[in-house]
Amino acid sequence: MQVQRINRRWGEVNLPKIGRVRFRWTKDLPGVTRGGPQGRITGARLVKNAFGWSIVFRTETLLPALRQAHPGPAVGIDRGVTVALALSDGTTREHQPWLSRGEREHLRRLEKKSARQRATRAQGRPQGRPQGRPQGRPVSHRLARTYAQIGRVRAIAKRRALDWQHQTTTELADTFSLIVVEDLKIPGMVRSAKGTIEAPGRNVAQKAGLNRSISGEAWGRGVTLMEYKSAGRGGKVVKVPAAGTSQTCHRCGHRDPAARQGIRFACTDPGCGWAGHADINAAINIEHAAGTAVSGRGDLTVGRSAKRQPPHAA
């Protein structure tokens, strides 16, 4: 793959079947940028999104040899209900809504507009025909334009969420040597809620809400980002079973679902009585559960259970 830098802002690449493609140079590329990462470019593809075309390079890079272990402390992280992330050191990582009030209002108006345009188009169809986006049929130009506008606003939100996620995971990987997170098994959770018509899932609405928020925060992607960022800094990410972490008092170990009331955790063991931020309590439990890790990345050797093969101390 012939990648050339034309000037400070532009590069050019020869793509099979397409020819020469110019692109805005935004990142150091291995094997091209002098003093950039060591490695090589193994592929490229063009991607169209709501903002236009992008080029994505697939690269192989060598991680620089690490001379010393990460000096930072360990931390447990809970994907909070009331905050985006709660840490076992008592801090939180939060963010503003991805869209401003004005942008949300704009999106709402566009969605109403698209519904109106769909309805106009549906007139003249046989009665009882389901309305909605006509499958496999061309949509009107006006409707297509509205869809494109909706797509742009959603893409703005997505880009801001990804940006926050990158900044936050970089900061966490810089700060902590061992990051302990819940093993949420997200694809399973998303699938399990719906059930079938004969056997509908239980608490569908609640789970759907939970799934939406999981997808919204894109927790799984955040964990993946932390895994490679930690590995590059001599740290590691460990996943632990999530069961009970939000219902158990981190101080005395007493487990009671009633102890958690929204944002607040109040231990129901009369001998303990600890009370505080529920998500922080969960984060501390998660950090303590590192001994029962189900998977890890980095130089940690982790077995299926703590009894058989305890992880080496951080």
Name the DSSP letter for residue 309: S
Shorter beta-carbon distance to Zn ion: residue 249 or 290? 249
Residue 192 in 3-state DSSP? helix
User: Could you tell me whether strands 74-78 and 178-183 are parallel, antiparallel, or unpaired per DSSP bridges?
Assistant: parallel
Number of alpha carbons in the 13 Å side-chain half-sphere of residue 199: 2
Sheet holding 10-15, edge to edge: 3-5, 10-15, 19-24
Shorter beta-carbon distance to Zn ion: residue 186 or 266? 266
Interface pattern 203-242 for Zn ion (x via CB under 5 A): ----------------------------------------
Q: For residues 246-265, which are near Zn ion according to CB under 5 A? A: 249, 251-252, 254
Q: Could you tell me which of 223, 216, 229 has the C-alpha nearest to residue 180?
A: 223
Q: How far is the CB of 260 from Zn ion (least distance, A)?
A: 12
Q: How far is the CB of 274 from Zn ion (least distance, A)?
A: 5
C-alpha distances in Å from residue 238, one per residue of 49, 80, 103, 219, 285 = 34, 18, 38, 14, 13
Q: For residues 151-180, which are near Zn ion according to CB under 5 A? A: none
Shorter beta-carbon distance to Zn ion: residue 122 or 252? 252
Shorter beta-carbon distance to Zn ion: residue 32 or 267? 267
**274 binds Zn ion per the rule CB under 5 A:** yes
Shorter beta-carbon distance to Zn ion: residue 117 or 285? 285
**272 binds Zn ion per the rule CB under 5 A:** yes
Q: Could you tell me which of 213, 173, 206 has the C-alpha nearest to residue 192?
A: 206
Separation CA 177–CA 69 (nearest Å): 8
Give CA 107 to chain center in angstroms.
23
The piece of 9-17, 80-88, 112-120, 272-280 that touches Zn ion (CB under 5 A) is: 272-280
Q: How far is the CB of 246 from Zn ion (least distance, A)?
A: 14
Shorter beta-carbon distance to Zn ion: residue 12 or 269? 269
Site residues, Zn ion (CB under 5 A): 249, 251-252, 254, 267, 269, 272, 274
